[in-house]
Amino acid sequence: DRMPGVARSSNTGSDAKIFAGRAERASQEDARRRVGHDIRHELSTIMLLASVLSEAPELDVENQQRAHQLLGETRWLDELLRAYERALSEQSSNDDKTCAPLRADVIVLEVVAPIRMGSTTRLIVEAGPAWVVVDRLVLWRALRNVIVNAVEAAGPQGTVVVRVDKVDGEVVIDVRDDGPGFVAEAVAETSLGLSIAFELVQSWGGNLTIRRTELGGCGVRIVLPSAYADERIASAVGE
């Protein structure tokens, strides 16, 4: 028979390791929460300054627009931080698929606007109203990754075309550039941005494919289910 004292000693050591592990995780979670709290404060300060700047009468219209765009970008960053914190606490919003329909073409324009201001790359958007059911931040992140990749591939003197269409009950977002071209498989394996976009789109029942286009460079196609199978319903809600 084993001695009870020995068994208790063994269990005590194991329990101590468990408690130590829990304490370490709690400490890490607390540290992340505190850093997140401070980052949100800084973002609030930036948003306040950008808001005041966007209304400053001494600025010309172009610089007021830049300040307003800075405010919008900071709000997206705040949403991204909150999503990151939810993911760390295992409460990711991707578990909830009950989002209201939103305009994919509007999100495309929101993504393109600041990139146009900070780049000499020619950005062309061809888009009409197109409703999808997807988390707003998820669509923004996917589009941001894909469009930024396209702009980098096209270069300062290049062209990127973003087109939004509705085809057979689906919303199709094509992003094409006239960059030097690529091997599709290599891009899919090495580009973190495209990998993130693929996972985000797939998590909401969509698909992302990569191909060569008539512009000579990369073509990325995002396909998402349309929110309204009947176009008359879409028209009634504002298309």
pLDDT at 221 over 90: yes
Nearest-angstrom CA–CA distance, 54 and 112: 19
3/210: higher pLDDT: 210
Burial class (CB in 10 A: 0-12, 13-18, 19+), 130: buried
Q: Which amino acid is at 118?
A: G
Neighbours of 99 (CB within 10 A): 17
Structure token digits, residue 65: 């627009």
Model confidence at 209, in pLDDT bands (50, 70, 90)?
very high
Taking only the tens place, the pLDDT of each residue in 20-37 is: 666 666 677 777 778 777
Give me the residues paired with residue 177 across strands.
Answer: 160
Q: Which two tokens stand for residue 164?
A: 């939004």
CB 224 within 8 Å of CB 171: yes
CA nearest neighbour of 160 among 146, 145, 177: 177
Give per-residue pLDDT as tens, 30-73.
Answer: 777 787 778 877 888 888 888 888 788 888 888 888 888 888 88
CA–CA distances in Å: residue 132 to residues 14, 34, 167, 216: 51, 36, 13, 29
Q: What band does 201 get if pLDDT is binned at 50, 70 and 90? A: very high
**pTM summary value:** 0.71
- Rounded to an integer, the average pLDDT of 151-159 is 93
Q: What is the mean pLDDT of residues 142-162?
A: 94
- Tens of pLDDT, residue by residue over 80-136, are 888 877 777 765 544 556 688 999 999 999 999 989 988 899 999 999 999 999 999
What does the block give as tokens for 83? 């999503």
* For residue 6, pLDDT beyond 70: no
